[in-house]
């Protein structure tokens, strides 16, 4: 094959450091940026192959999300804007790790195994975050695509969900929206304005939202969008990237993990605040209560607000459409209980990682999925969307039904169904709170989170831990699950689990209990069990102070 001559030749300009092995993890490849040039070139090759195979446009996003600014990473986006299918994650790992001489053989194997017709055209959309390394890494991706005769469209600086959206628009021939930034801003802001028309007498205070942009791409894009929102949302933007460092002491991950406000944000009591992560696919809300205590509203609370609102609107519209919520083991026990017992919605639990939640949510009429850390969106089945849109058109429908159906239709338009999207989720939350006339305090008190703690344990090989039941139970190493069960019994309302991280070289420990001391104590004791039974390295875990 003629193309391979060029691949061999060009790949020498993107050499692989010897002995470096990487894995396509929970969210693509991620490591220090200086080790990624060859990976980017090769992901360009793979994206071209995936495009030929699917006869569709494929996306390649250069970002390391909430990681430090020195890191970078890459994720592949499949035709409907979802994460690339698991079999191809395997190909991605093979390609990234092939030594220079073996690259063409690995490429040929993929082409043969998947029976890819090389005469097909290839189209790849490329986007990047604000990291200094992202620009040159993007060039490496484009080099890879063109080596296999593919065509790239470089969107430059975009949030991860914006690129997912572009891919979905292109492959639905613009039915989903127009594949431009302007198209994205117009579609979302139109739906937002439509929805907020239903919130009467909103004051400027109620329209005000403090946003922590994590010094990243989300801040830039929110600024671009502001004019489209016609003052229906009045954003006070902090950590906008003009001086601070990306993700440093700010952003959704920092706020969630440390359960503390980001640096650089000036919060008055009761003011509604939110944080994006470094590529704006995660969002977390929070506020300081009147006693000055920091209160976090995480992905679970977001899923609760959204599913509750959708359910009520469906009832008002007289539509018999099922709403389900998909969570992971990290969902707070109180959230799961509230959804099941009070709201009576179907709740299902999947493994960690957006792709698992997204996949599970596709099984329902309306699948609301959120990780506790704020990754998430809502998926509407074709049939559910059709019923809602038909009711909007139906001139005989009575006023209340029609109004509810219109609200549902605008909510569909406001949600980025391709993937979790901080900007889109923020607008959905703002609109729903406004329509309900609900304050952040009111939303917060729907249920009270059980105190919880997450810890990390270093072990020689995290793959020695094997889990089952959506990562809630350990199968290997022997004895670890028994040890956890015994420890959990010592605490009230307690739950704990451990799993190997898919993005970092650590084992994660999660514990919750009726008090913070309990959650901390249990998390510590479970960490010790992991350390002793799963080959801990370095210092033994210490109790939390």
Ligand X SMILES: CC(=O)N[C@H]1[C@@H](OP(=O)(O)O)O[C@H](CO)[C@@H](O)[C@@H]1O
CA distance 348 to 355: 14
Q: How many residues bind ligand X, per CB under 6 A?
A: 15
Please name the residue that has the structure tokens 């989170």: 449
Parallel/antiparallel/unpaired status of strands 323-328 and 346-350: parallel
* Chain residues 157-176 in contact with ligand X, contact rule CB under 6 A: none
- Relative orientation angle of helices 480-489 and 516-533, to the nearest 10 degrees: 160
CA distance 224 to 247: 20
Tell me which of Mg ion, ligand X, none is bound by residue 384, counting a contact when its beta carbon lies within the kind-specific cut-off of 5 to 8 angstroms. none
Main-chain phi, psi angles of 128, to 5 degrees: -150, 155
Which of 11, 51, 65, 307 is catalytic? The answer is 65
Tell me which of ligand X, Mg ion, none is bound by residue 281, counting a contact when its beta carbon lies within the kind-specific cut-off of 5 to 8 angstroms. Mg ion
Is 406 near ligand X (CB under 6 A)? no
DSSP string computed for 460-514: S-GGG-EEETTTTEEEESTTHHHHHHHHHHTSTT-EEEEEE-SSSSSEEEEEE-S
CA distance 421 to 354: 12
Is 247 near ligand X (CB under 6 A)? no
Nearest residue (CB) to ligand X, 207 versus 375: 375
CA distance 479 to 502: 23
Tell me which of ligand X, Mg ion, none is bound by residue 183, counting a contact when its beta carbon lies within the kind-specific cut-off of 5 to 8 angstroms. none
Nearest residue (CB) to ligand X, 144 versus 500: 500
Is 277 near Mg ion (CB under 5 A)? yes
CA distance 47 to 103: 15
Is 68 near ligand X (CB under 6 A)? no
CB of 352 to ligand X, least distance (A): 5
Is 31 near ligand X (CB under 6 A)? no
Is 65 near Mg ion (CB under 5 A)? yes
**Residue 295, marked binder:** no
Active site includes 334?
no
Tell which one of 59, 79, 144, 353 touches ligand X (CB under 6 A).
Answer: 353
CB of 248 to ligand X, least distance (A): 18
Tell which one of 63, 65, 162, 527 touches ligand X (CB under 6 A).
Answer: 65
CA distance 95 to 38: 10
Tell me which of ligand X, Mg ion, none is bound by residue 70, counting a contact when its beta carbon lies within the kind-specific cut-off of 5 to 8 angstroms. none
Query: Which residues lie closer than 8 Å to 329 by C-beta, 6 or more apart?
Result: 349, 352, 470, 471, 472, 497, 499, 510
**Residue 172, marked binder:** no
Part in contact with ligand X (CB under 6 A); list of ranges 76-84, 234-242, 350-358, 387-395: 350-358
Tell which one of 26, 133, 138, 215 touches ligand X (CB under 6 A).
Answer: 26
Nearest residue (CB) to ligand X, 327 versus 334: 327
CA distance 131 to 143: 20
Q: Which residues pair with residue 158 across a beta bridge? A: none
* Chain residues 12-31 in contact with Mg ion, contact rule CB under 5 A: none
Is 129 near Mg ion (CB under 5 A)? no
Helix (H), strand (E) counts: the chain? 19, 19
Which residues are part of the catalytic machinery?
65
Q: Kindly list the residues in this chain that would bind ligand X in the complex (CB under 6 A).
A: 26-27, 65, 330, 352-354, 371, 373, 375, 501-504, 508
């Amino acid at each position: 094959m003629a193309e391979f001559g060029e691949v061999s030749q060009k790949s020498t300009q993107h050499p692989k450091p010897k002995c470096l092995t990487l894995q396509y993890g929970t969210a693509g490849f991620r490591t220090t940026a200086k080790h990624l040039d060859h990976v980017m070139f090769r992901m360009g090759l793979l994206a071209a192959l995936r495009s030929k195979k699917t006869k569709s446009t494929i996306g390649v996003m250069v970002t390391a999300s909430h990681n430090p600014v020195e890191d970078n990473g890459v994720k592949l986006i499949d035709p409907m804007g979802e994460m690339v299918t698991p079999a191809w994650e395997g190909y991605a790992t093979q390609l990234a790790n092939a030594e220079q001489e073996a690259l063409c053989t690995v490429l040929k194997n993929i082409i043969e195994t998947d029976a890819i017709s090389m005469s097909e055209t290839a189209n790849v959309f490329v986007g990047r975050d604000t990291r200094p390394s992202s620009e040159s890494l993007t060039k490496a991706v484009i080099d890879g695509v063109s080596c296999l005769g593919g065509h790239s469209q470089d969107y430059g600086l975009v949030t991860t969900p914006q690129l997912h959206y572009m891919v979905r628009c292109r492959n639905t021939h613009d039915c989903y929206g127009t594949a431009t930034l302007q198209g994205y801003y117009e579609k979302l802001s139109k739906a937002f304005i439509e929805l907020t028309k239903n919130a009467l007498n909103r004051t400027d205070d109620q329209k005000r939202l403090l946003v922590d942009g994590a010094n990243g791409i989300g801040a830039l894009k929110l600024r671009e969008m502001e004019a489209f929102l016609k003052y229906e949302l009045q954003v006070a933007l902090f950590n906008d990237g003009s001086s601070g460092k990306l993700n440093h002491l700010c952003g959704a991950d920092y706020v969630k993990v440390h359960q503390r406000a980001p640096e650089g944000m000036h919060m008055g009591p009761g003011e509604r605040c939110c944080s994006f992560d470094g590529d704006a696919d995660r969002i977390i809300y929070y506020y300081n209560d009147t006693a000055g205590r920091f209160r976090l509203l995480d992905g679970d609370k977001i899923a609760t607000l959204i599913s509750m609102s959708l359910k009520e609107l469906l009832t008002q519209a007289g539509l018999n459409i099922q709403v389900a919520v998909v969570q992971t083991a990290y969902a707070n026990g109180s959230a799961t209980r509230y959804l099941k017992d009070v709201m009576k919605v179907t709740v299902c639990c999947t493994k960690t990682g957006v792709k698992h939640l997204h996949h599970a949510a596709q099984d329902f009429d309306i699948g609301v999925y959120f990780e506790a850390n704020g990754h998430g969106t809502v998926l509407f089945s074709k049939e559910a969307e059709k019923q809602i849109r038909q009711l909007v058109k139906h001139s005989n429908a009575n006023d209340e039904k029609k109004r509810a159906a219109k609200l549902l239709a605008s909510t569909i338009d406001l949600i980025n169904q391709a993937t979790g999207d901080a900007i889109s989720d923020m607008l959905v939350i703002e609109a729903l709170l406004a329509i309900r006339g609900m304050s952040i305090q009111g939303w917060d008190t729907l249920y009270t989170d059980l105190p919880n703690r997450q810890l990390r344990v270093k072990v020689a090989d995290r793959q020695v831990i094997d889990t089952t039941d959506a990562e809630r139970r350990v199968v290997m190493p022997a004895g670890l699950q028994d040890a956890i069960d015994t420890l959990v019994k010592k605490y009230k309302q307690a739950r704990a689990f451990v799993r190997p991280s898919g993005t970092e070289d650590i084992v994660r420990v999660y514990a919750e209990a009726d008090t913070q001391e309990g959650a901390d104590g249990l998390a510590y004791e479970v960490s010790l069990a992991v350390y002793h039974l799963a080959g801990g390295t370095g210092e033994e875990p210490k109790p939390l102070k």
